[in-house]
Structure 1
Amino acid sequence: MSTINTLLREDLRAFAGYQSARSTALAGDVWLNANESAWANAADIGAQLRRYPQPQPPALRDALAQLYAVAPEQVLIGRGSDEAIDLLVRAFCAPGQGRVVIAAPVFGMYAVCAKLHGAQVIDVPLHDSDTGLSADLGAIGDAALAQHATLVFLCSPGNPSGELLPLDAIADLAGRLRGRCMVVVDEAYLDYVDAPSATQLLPMLDNIAVLRTLSKAHALAGARVGCVLGSRVLIEALRRCQAPYPVPQPVAVEALAALAPQVLALTRSRVEVVREARARLQAGLTRLSCVQRVYASAGNFLLVRFVDADAAFTALLSAGVVVRDMRAMPQLQNALRITVGTQDECRRVLAALEPVSEVRV
């Protein structure tokens, strides 16, 4: 039995899921199998919305597979990374019984999905040191084994820490947990750093799942397109747990257009702009005396500790600049997260903070 079937909820191993009208490939020119309207809505320009969409649009799946260097059968498209996280929790944690390991402060949806499912959240906190907020993968492995967890969520680059996890360390952790626990690597921000993806580990380790999204670098946050990358057995299991039509037809068309070669080239050039702007913004923030610390980041954001985070947050809001208040998260009582915007937007951040700070000489 594969690792996936060993860890999958026992009651889901033979579960077929819902078989929708688009689940099987059928040919015909009169479609009367899905109880759809015989007429398009008068507001439906192009008459594309009266039919249910493909559950996994083949062209989009192929394009994502090419983008992330995996086989199409290793891709499951969903409504952003949020749906992927929820599917993984539902598939590998029995309701009210499962255990999930996280390393806070981290993206909140891992814990939210676990708690909504009744799973126990085991936190192995990030360690704050001179090198930054760092995950202790050894301690995470210890906790997963001791608590009989079935899911570990890693975020690389970390949100909000900005930490990039070494691929060999992820491989060591997954190897240690193989047959015992799934290791989920959330790479939502990997586009912003020159580093290999954990998908390179998939041929050797079948207990790894990788999350990717078009919301960040590809600028499609409003379209809600993300995917799980993993073994064919994993993708088939998650598909059985997924709602029938996760990708609306207009969204699939827009996402496919965003993955055209000329569009991808522009996206990659803008990523380089963000990386340069990130360095400039970090340098500018570091010179402000109201700033206690700026963490190095491999994402499109900076985590910043302030002497007076309330004064900084208020000053930014007064200047029309909205940043993420992180003070409710563990270890971040004086921190704000600032997305790297355009050159002008970054200037506005620094200008807004100057009245509450003296620039260091």
Structure 2
Amino acid sequence: MSDRSEGTAPFPAHLVREDLRDFAGYSSARTSAPGVPASIWLNANESGEASSADPGGANRRYPDPQPPALVEAFADLWATTPGRVVVGRGSDEIIELLVRTLCRPGGDGVVVAPPTFGMYAVSARLHGVPVHEVPQVDDGVRFTVDTGALATRARETGARIVFVASPGNPTGTVVPLRDLAALVEAVADRAVVVVDEAYGEYAEQRSAVALLEEHPTLVVLRTLSKAHGVAGARIGIGLAHPDLATVLRRVQAPYPVPVPVARLGLEALAPAALEATRRRVLQTLRLRDVVVRRLREVPGVRAVYATDANFLLVRSDDPGALLHTLASAGIVVRDLRHQPGLHDALRITVGTADEMTALDTALRETTA
């Protein structure tokens, strides 16, 4: 059930696949007996005894599909209601859920703005859903997402989802909130706009979560994999209209959040951990400025793009040689040469102070 706030406009049901609008989903051991004050659970065929690998029995039972404490913590963090929160196995799962829920296999479609995160297209193609591209504008200093062209393309193709990463990966581009709002309004009768803010902690612009109440067809993705430093736990969330969030949970596979993962997520969202994350972000931004200046001194580096994320997009006259230099020092960066329009580009993550010192030392080899 959704917990739609009084006065919130409904989500347009026609955007959900017709065959899933009344889909109840799998009735799991933790959802099949709601409200029962149970003390003995004999409905899931679990082991009656704890494993020797887990003598305390913390993991003997199947987990709640959406752990209430974790959902509440995310809702508190984003000043929203629990009914808007869908927790998944990283943002990747939320992307897949959205494609599965909104797009008919073999029909509809998604619109993306390359160069961008590859999972949007991967998820679409795995479901037989067409992918329509509106390339970003590259002026040699920064990339710009043409939201007007995205809206036009969505309307021309009948696409059901428009994916916008802000900050973008690998571009580092932030899309202004006013442009995002205009895009959502322009396609509200036919498509959902998904704003992926995986790197949002590093950006000065406030989150698109601020637009959720006024825009039922907006979804915002966030993750604990980047600034929060728990990528190995695979925790991502979708923040959506309660009606859409309800459908996404029904479509989701059972038990998406393991017990140890939920615990780690709660620890990462505790006040002390959030304060530590803010300090790490500030340190990363300081180091990023230093690395930008250093890279611009490297022979053959033609461009270091403006970024609002924890990485840098770099164009080089000889990216292969730069890759080799760094690899010789044990440093792995992202090779982007296979992506359209990025045949000479690398992406470098801003790591720790020690890692950036090692990067600087390796770069000096190119100027020696």
> TM-score band, normalised by the shorter chain?
over 0.9
- Who is 1:246 aligned against? 256
Structure 2 residue aligned with 1:60, among 67, 70, 75? 70
Quick one: structure 1 residues 315 and 301, their matched pair in 2 at CA, closer, same or farther if it must change by over 3 Å?
same
CA deviation vs aligned residue, 1:278-337 (integer Å, no higher than 9, x gap)? 111111111112211101111110011111000000110010001111111111101110
- Who is 1:235 aligned against? 245
> Does the aligned pair in 2 maintain the 1:198–1:210 contact within 8 Å?
yes
- Who is 2:13 aligned against? 5
Give how far 1:353 is off. 2.3
Measure the CA separation in 2 of the matches of 1:61 and 1:264: 16
> Does the aligned pair in 2 maintain the 1:3–1:178 contact within 8 Å?
no
Measure the CA separation in 2 of the matches of 1:148 and 1:131: 33
Alignment of 1:29-108 (within 5 A): 29-108=39-118
2:266 counterpart of 1:256: yes
Give how far 1:62 is off. 0.5
> Does the aligned pair in 2 maintain the 1:290–1:357 contact within 8 Å?
no
2:215 counterpart of 1:205: yes
Give how far 1:2 is off. 4.0
Measure the CA separation in 2 of the matches of 1:224 and 1:25: 30
Amino acid at match of 2:110: V
Alignment of 1:162-311 (within 5 A): 162-311=172-321
Amino acid at match of 1:181: A
Measure the CA separation in 2 of the matches of 1:183 and 1:74: 15
Give how far 1:350 is off. 2.4
Quick one: structure 1 residues 196 and 253, their matched pair in 2 at CA, closer, same or farther if it must change by over 3 Å?
same
Runs of 4+ in 1 over 4 A off after TM superposition: none
Measure the CA separation in 2 of the matches of 1:298 and 1:4: 33
What is the percent sequence identity of the aligned residues?
A: 50
Measure the CA separation in 1 of the matches of 2:12 and 2:89: 22
- Who is 1:352 aligned against? 362
Structure 2 residue aligned with 1:119, among 129, 132, 138? 129
2:31 counterpart of 1:19: no
Equivalent residue of 2:59, what SS? coil
Measure the CA separation in 2 of the matches of 1:9 and 1:162: 33
What residue ranges of structure 1 are gaps of 5+ in the alignment? none
Amino acid at match of 2:43: N
Measure the CA separation in 1 of the matches of 2:363 and 2:55: 47
Amino acid at match of 1:302: L
Give how far 1:6 is off. 1.4
Equivalent residue of 1:202, what SS? helix
Equivalent residue of 2:213, what SS? coil
Amino acid at match of 1:311: A
2:340 counterpart of 1:330: yes
Measure the CA separation in 1 of the matches of 2:29 and 2:211: 35
> Does the aligned pair in 2 maintain the 1:199–1:230 contact within 8 Å?
no
Amino acid at match of 1:9: R
> Does the aligned pair in 1 maintain the 2:110–2:131 contact within 8 Å?
yes
> Does the aligned pair in 1 maintain the 2:113–2:164 contact within 8 Å?
yes
Amino acid at match of 1:80: G
Amino acid at match of 1:12: L
> Does the aligned pair in 2 maintain the 1:98–1:118 contact within 8 Å?
no
Amino acid at match of 2:255: Y
CA deviation vs aligned residue, 1:85-128 (integer Å, no higher than 9, x gap)? 00000001111112100011100000000000000000101111
- Who is 1:153 aligned against? 163
- Paired positions, count: 358
> Does the aligned pair in 2 maintain the 1:3–1:179 contact within 8 Å?
no
> Does the aligned pair in 1 maintain the 2:141–2:304 contact within 8 Å?
no
Measure the CA separation in 2 of the matches of 1:168 and 1:13: 31
Give how far 1:25 is off. 3.5
**38-47 or 70-79: bigger deviation:** 38-47
What residue ranges of structure 2 are gaps of 5+ in the alignment? 1-8
Quick one: structure 1 residues 307 and 357, their matched pair in 2 at CA, closer, same or farther if it must change by over 3 Å?
farther
Measure the CA separation in 2 of the matches of 1:45 and 1:219: 29
CA deviation vs aligned residue, 1:215-260 (integer Å, no higher than 9, x gap)? 0011010000000001100100101100110000011011101111
Measure the CA separation in 1 of the matches of 2:12 and 2:219: 10
Measure the CA separation in 1 of the matches of 2:174 and 2:29: 42
* Aligned-residue CA RMSD (Å): 1.2
Amino acid at match of 1:8: V
Amino acid at match of 2:173: E
Measure the CA separation in 2 of the matches of 1:261 and 1:25: 31
> Does the aligned pair in 2 maintain the 1:157–1:298 contact within 8 Å?
yes
